[in-house]
């Protein structure tokens, strides 16, 4: 989703802004732009599409803009108005002296626009953001102080925003503010950086200030003044960022997605260090701040999440219910926030999010917190807005995930759910020691099993090529792997744009079976365990309708050779842990199909990595 950058200092601003935008590309965007302060005017440049188009646009002006040492930049993921040059940010006020970049949605922009039009403002774009530029400029005309104009403006704005603003009459000054959208300020030596996310600043500085909602920062090369919207001065809290720039390299892989799939064995190892030592030692999960007594008495859990994180949550439900006997509800955050939810101080609410910034999940978390629930957040970003809402925080430590399609963060979320479920089961005494030890010893072997799959990925690549020429793809599974089927389908549709759907296999004959014929690939996630035979029968039913049958299995059953057209074998694993092992080939199938079809694997069309608007 949109990304903001800003710089004020003494270095050439254009390169810093463009590089910052490049580091935010993973968020997903469809146009871009920058504004820089030149000798006596602010110059604005914008382009549709990729950043390379903006660079082409800038090339003829290279000399003119090379001396600028202050500027703002933006990549836009269109919400209001098509992804055109005129709708791209930065947006200016009528006279062009004030420029704004914005991430979020101004919900009351229509009313504000009508009032500004009455005053004579002429609008050029269809965006909600242009309203902000005109409104600040109109207030600035009265108060002649940029920070004050921003403070007064924000009192009129409804919705979500991170804003970075500059004015030609206030040289060497950026004003930034935010509400329900991320914004970080990097602190350098006589220079400051502004960004929607850490990757845009990490190569310049590790010192940063996370702005909280309704704070306004006024930045010059050698000063930072932090205030609230009522001009009360606040003390900025400078933090040291726990990120390394090297994390953003593809390390020789063709795409970030492929690199991130290959990182998964180490991601699991890193999570287990310090938490699961041996099969017979208890799980250490100091991150859970609920007392043992509260955990013992806990009788209800709600998990809220979106997309891939929602699929991890569904598996979380399965294992918490299985291991601990606690009823768990799982719901898409976007649904949760618009109904009457029965949540109270006796409910543990778990929010799951790679980014920790997903607007729907953040809102849902805030709603439950207001009702007194204990909030446990499972996130890959311990520096995120959701993490700051947490009573208990389980950082999944997958390292920064650049590819829009989530892979390693999903495996990390699952691993964290297993640890949490085992931890609670130990405290509640709901599993036998033998069962606990069996799962724990198998968990310790998971990294090796994934390494075995990755070492023999050619078979998966061949399968992907064989079925890449299809318009539709069905994934079926039962029990604990039903969410695996959903996630496999989501991965494929996200990056290849093939219409892929996951079904609980028992539901096939209640409707979807009507779609089956010799053109339809059906992939069956067939793991040894209690639903194996049932799923085998469902696969027979699909075969009888001439579907092209693919098995993803850990079974050595000979009869599979007759039933399936293609078989991908994975190492043997306990059914309860099979979602982790089964997911890796499904990620690779999606990857190789998209790569074979020549799609933009890491930045699929229309998608954003951090969905910071509802």
Which stretches of the chain bind ligand AGP, using CB under 6 A?
306-309, 353-355, 358, 361, 404-406, 494, 607, 611
Q: Of 182 and 307, which has the nearer Cβ to ligand AGP?
A: 307
- The residue at minimum Cβ distance from ligand AGP is 307
DSSP element (H, E) containing 183: none
Question: Which residues does 469 contact at the CB level (< 8 Å), separation at least 6?
Answer: none
Nearer to ligand AGP, 91 or 609 (CB): 609
Report d(CA 614, CA 105) in Å as an integer.
9
Q: Which is nearer to ligand AGP, 409 or 539 (CB)?
A: 409
The smaller minimum CB distance to ligand AGP, of residues 48 and 494, is found at 494
Q: Which is nearer to ligand AGP, 176 or 365 (CB)?
A: 365
Q: What is d(CA 572, CA 134) in angstroms, rounded to the nearest whole number?
A: 63
Question: Other CB atoms closer than 10 Å to residue 476's CB: what's the count?
Answer: 29
- Whole-number Å distance between alpha carbons of 204 and 189: 10
What is the closest distance, in whole angstroms, from the C-beta atom of residue 334 to ligand AGP in the complex? 10
**Closer by beta carbon to ligand AGP, 386 or else 576:** 386
Beta strands across the sheet bearing 348-353: 328-332, 301-305, 348-353, 374-379, 392-395
Strand order in the sheet with 499-504: 499-504, 472-477, 521-526, 548-553, 566-569
Sign of CA dihedral 423, 427, 431, 437: positive
Which H or E element spans position 398? none
Which DSSP category does 560 fall into? H
CB of 284: closest distance to ligand AGP in angstroms?
25
Residue closer to ligand AGP by CB (options 154, 379) is 379
The reply to whether omega before 140 is within 30° of 0 (cis) is no
Distance CA 12, CA 191 (A): 11
User: Nearest approach, Cβ of 445 to ligand AGP (angstroms)?
Assistant: 27
List of residues 6+ apart from 106 with CB closer than 8 A: 112, 128, 129, 131, 132, 157, 158, 159, 161
Point out the catalytic residue in the list 148, 259, 599, 609: 609
Give CA–CA dist 18/15, Å, rounded. 5
Rounded CA-CA distance 291/539 in Å is 46
What's the closest the beta carbon of residue 487 comes to ligand AGP, in angstroms? 8
Q: Which is nearer to ligand AGP, 334 or 539 (CB)?
A: 334
- Comparing CA positions, the residue from 579, 577, 582 lying closest to residue 323 is 577
Minimum distance of ligand AGP from residue 568's CB (angstroms): 21
Looking at the Cβ atoms of 125 and 309, the one nearer to ligand AGP is 309
Q: Is 55 a catalytic residue?
A: no
Phi, psi of 74 (to 5 degrees): -155, 140
**Dihedral of CA 490/81/53/35: which sign?**
negative
Query: Whole-number minimum distance, CB 116 to ligand AGP, in Å?
Result: 34
609 as an active site residue: the answer is yes
Phi (first) and psi of residue 474, to 5 degrees: -115, 135
Neighbours of 12 (CB within 10 A): 16
Between 227 and 487, CB nearer to ligand AGP: 487
The least distance separating ligand AGP from the CB of residue 404, rounded to whole angstroms, comes to 5
Q: What is the DSSP letter of 513?
A: G
Marked catalytic residue, from 2, 164, 306, 463: 2
Closest approach, Cβ 199 to ligand AGP, in A, equals: 15
H or E segment to which residue 561 belongs: helix 560-563
Joined tokens for residue 244 = 């390394």
Ranges assigned E (strand) in 68-168? 70-76, 91-92, 98-106, 159-167
Residue 353 CB, shortest distance to ligand AGP, in Å, is: 3
Phi, psi of 535 (to 5 degrees): -70, -30
* Tokens 């079925």, residue located: 467
How far is Cα 441 from Cα 591, in angstroms, rounded to an integer? Answer: 31
| Smallest separation, CB 351 to ligand AGP (Å) | 9
CA distance 391 to 138: 42
Helix (H, G, I), strand (E, B) or coil at 150: helix
- Give the residue numbers marked as catalytic: 2, 609
């Amino acid at each position: 989703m949109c990304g903001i950058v800003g710089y004020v200092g003494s270095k050439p601003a254009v390169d810093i802004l463009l590089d910052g935008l490049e580091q935010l590309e993973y968020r997903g965007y469809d146009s871009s732009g920058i504004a820089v302060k030149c000798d006596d005017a602010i110059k604005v440049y914008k382009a549709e599409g990729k950043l390379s188009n903006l660079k082409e646009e800038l090339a003829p002006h290279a000399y003119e803009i090379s001396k600028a040492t202050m500027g703002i930049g933006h990549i836009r993921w269109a919400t209001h108005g098509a992804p055109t040059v005129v709708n791209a940010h930065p947006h200016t006020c009528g006279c062009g002296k004030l420029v704004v970049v914005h991430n979020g949605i101004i919900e009351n922009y229509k009313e504000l626009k009508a009032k500004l039009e009455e005053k004579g403002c002429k609008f050029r774009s269809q965006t909600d953001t242009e309203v902000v530029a005109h409104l600040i400029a109109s207030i600035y005309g009265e108060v002649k102080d940029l920070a004050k104009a921003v403070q007064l403006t924000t009192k009129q704005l409804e919705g979500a925003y991170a804003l970075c603003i500059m004015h030609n009459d206030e040289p060497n000054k950026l004003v930034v503010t935010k509400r329900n959208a991320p914004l970080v300020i990097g602190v350098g030596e006589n220079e400051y950086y502004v960004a929607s996310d850490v990757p845009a600043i990490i190569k310049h500085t590790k010192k940063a200030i996370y702005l909280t909602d309704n704070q306004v920062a006024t930045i010059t090369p050698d000063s930072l003044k932090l205030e609230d919207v009522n001009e009360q001065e606040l003390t900025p809290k400078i933090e040291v960022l726990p990120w390394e720039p090297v994390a953003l390299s593809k390390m020789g892989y063709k795409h970030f997605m492929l690199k991130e799939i290959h990182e998964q064995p180490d991601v699991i190892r890193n999570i287990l260090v310090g938490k699961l030592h041996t099969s017979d030692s208890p799980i250490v999960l100091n991150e859970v701040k609920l007392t043992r007594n509260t955990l013992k008495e806990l009788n209800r859990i709600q998990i809220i999440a979106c997309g891939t994180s929602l699929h991890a949550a569904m598996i979380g439900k399965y294992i918490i219910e299985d291991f601990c006997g606690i009823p768990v509800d799982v719901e898409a955050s976007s649904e949760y926030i618009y109904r009457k939810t029965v949540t109270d101080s006796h409910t543990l609410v778990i929010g799951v999010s790679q980014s920790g910034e997903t607007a729907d999940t953040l809102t849902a978390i805030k709603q439950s917190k207001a009702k007194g629930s204990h909030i446990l957040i499972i996130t890959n970003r311990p520096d995120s807005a959701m993490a700051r809402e947490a009573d208990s925080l389980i950082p999944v430590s997958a390292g920064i995930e650049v590819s829009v399609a989530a892979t390693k963060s999903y495996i990390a979320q699952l691993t964290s759910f297993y640890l949490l479920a085992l931890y609670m089961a130990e405290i509640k005494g709901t599993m036998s020691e033998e069962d606990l030890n069996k799962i724990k010893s198998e968990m310790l072997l998971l990294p090796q099993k994934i390494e075995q799959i990755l070492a023999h990925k050619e078979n998966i690549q061949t399968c992907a090529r064989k079925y890449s020429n299809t318009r539709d793809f069905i994934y079926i599974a039962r029990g604990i792997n039903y969410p695996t089927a959903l996630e496999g389908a989501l991965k494929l549709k996200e990056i290849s744009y093939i219409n892929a759907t996951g079904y609980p296999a028992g539901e096939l004959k209640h409707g979807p079976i009507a779609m089956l014929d010799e053109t339809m690939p059906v992939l069956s996630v067939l793991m040894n365990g209690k639903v194996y035979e049932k799923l085998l029968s469902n696969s027979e039913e699909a075969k009888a309708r001439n579907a092209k049958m693919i098995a993803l299995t850990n079974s050595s059953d000979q009869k599979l050779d007759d039933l399936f057209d293609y078989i991908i074998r994975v190492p043997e694993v306990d059914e309860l842990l099979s979602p982790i092992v089964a997911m890796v080939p499904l990620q690779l199938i999606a990857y190789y199909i998209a790569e074979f079809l020549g799609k933009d694997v890491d930045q699929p069309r229309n998608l954003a990595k951090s969905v910071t608007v509802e």
